Amino acid sequence: MTDSLLLIADRGAVRTITLNRPDKLNALNRATIAALHEAFLAAQKAESVRCIILTGAGPKAFVAGADISEFAGLPPITARDFSLAGQKAFRAIETLGKPVLAAVNGFCLGGGMELAMACSLRIAADTARFGQPEVNLGIIPGFGGTQRLPRLVGRSAALELCLTGTPINAERAYQLGIVSKVVPAANLMSEVEALADQLAAAAPLALRGILDAVVYGEDMPLEIGLDYESQCFGLLTSTDDMREGTRAFMEKRKAIFQGK
């Protein structure tokens, strides 16, 4: 499926969603945010899709930020609604129950960095640049940056990025834990696709259990989070995938998981 905003393609159990506004450095406007939300909800419902790759069209940008021409001059209530729409769409990605890999191929700034942080994992080209430069526009991050970034890198580094608005390179992003791997730009998609294939072959219900336990558990007190983990663990022991996984281990063969 293609349209003017997104390119969507399936390769086996892996779906790739590409933001398709390269002339705008894939900047996020309201229409693009709505399209992303719809596309990820569709991926969630599609049983054949086990892993999603998110990237940006063109060689320059993953997403260079929110579309300034769209939100500049908005009245406060409308601006708040714009922020809430982005937060809702990104939260849907974060709580999808399927792994989402951000292939960061260039500028990943402002709303783009907030979008990447909502993904399960981020792999960056060595040419990528990261930052929360909203302070330079006289505003703050509005799509979750002030909340996800401290959880990802700690308060001090998050405040440094948000207060100064200074972008960082991919290697610094790796050192801070924003990305899990940095690769040559020419190898980015092959590296991400290899990881996506690995995840797509894993037990889908176990992946969902891990994602749920981490995403929801990090906001719980430790004792409640531990209890939630135990409940997920107990439920998974009753699945066909668990029986297949343990049987394959005993038989020294590769497990074939069905998501049941």
Residues 191 and 81 in one domain: yes
Nearest to 152 by CA among 125, 116, 128: 116
pLDDT tens for 44-86 read 999 999 999 999 999 999 999 888 877 777 888 998 999 999 9
Domain count, the chain: 2
Q: Is a pLDDT exceeding 50 seen at residue 141? A: yes
User: Which residue type is seen at 137?
Assistant: L
Bridge-based pairing of strands 14-19 and 6-11 is antiparallel
Q: Domain containing 79 — which CATH number?
A: 3.90.226.10
Residues 27 and 119 in one domain: yes
Residues 257, 236 contacting (CB under 8 angstroms): no
Q: Domain containing 215 — which CATH number?
A: 1.10.12
Length of the chain, in residues = 260
Q: Which residues carry out catalysis?
A: 114, 134
Range of the domain at 247: 204-251
Q: Is a pLDDT exceeding 70 seen at residue 3? A: no
Q: What is the pTM of this model?
A: 0.93
